[in-house]
Amino acid sequence: MSIRLRNLQKEDKEYFYSWIRDKEVVKYSLSKFQKMNSDSEISEWFDKVLLDKSSYKKAIVDSAKNNLIGYAGISGISQINKSGEYFIFIGDKSYHGKGVGTFVTKEIVKMGFEDLGLNRIMLTVSDINVGAVRAYTKANFKTEGIMRQACFRDGKFHNKIVMSILREEWISLTGK
C-alpha cells in the first residue's frame, strides 16, 4: 500500500467540496457534514480546521497517484490529561474497505504516543459503521462503553461505541 501521511495544506481544500456533498461518504462522519452544502460553508469549515492548534491533523495521500484521499488526526488534545480524540475521514470512496483505515489509525496512534506524548487516545464510532469498528479493533482500540441512541442517520437512532487505547497497551503490543 502506497499510503503516506503529510501535513494538511490549504491546497487540499478542493478535494473536500465533492467529498462532503457525497451523502455516502459523510454518512458516518461529523454531524456538521450532514448539513454543509455550499462551497462557502465547506471552505469556512476547512479554513478553521487548518487554523485549529488544539488538533493534530494529517493528510492521507496515495503516493503512487499523488492524490489526497482523506485526512486523520487527534482533536481535543488535553496537555494536562495527556489525551485526545482520534478521527479519520476517507473521502475517496475507492479506498474504502481496503485496509487504509487500519493503516492510518495505527500510524496516527503511533504519532500520538511518540510525538505528542499522549497517554490515552479515544474515539466514538456508530455501531452500524462495521468497517470502522473492525479497523479500530485491528488497531488495538478497546471498547469502553456504549452511548445509547447518540447518532441519528437514515431516519433512525443508532448507538455509538466509545473506544480507546492507552500508551501502556500500545507499548506492550509494539515493544516500544
User: What φ, ψ does residue 108 adopt, rounded to 5°?
Assistant: -65, -40
Quick one: cell of 20? 462532503
The partner residues of 89 in beta bridges, in order of sequence, read 71
Query: Which of the four pLDDT bands, split at 50, 70 and 90, describes residue 27?
Result: confident
| Confidence check: pLDDT of 90 > 70 | yes
How high is the mean pLDDT of the chain? 92
Mean pLDDT of 136-146: 96
pTM of the model: 0.93
Highest mean pLDDT among 20-29, 45-54, 102-111, 128-137 belongs to 102-111
What distance in Å separates the CA atoms of residue 161 and residue 147, rounded to the nearest whole number?
6
| Confidence check: pLDDT of 33 > 90 | no
What distance in Å separates the CA atoms of residue 93 and residue 161, rounded to the nearest whole number?
23
Query: Which of the four pLDDT bands, split at 50, 70 and 90, describes residue 1?
Result: low
SS3 28: coil
- Cβ–Cβ under 8 Å, residues 101 and 88: yes
The DSSP code for 31 is G
| pLDDT, position 53 | 87
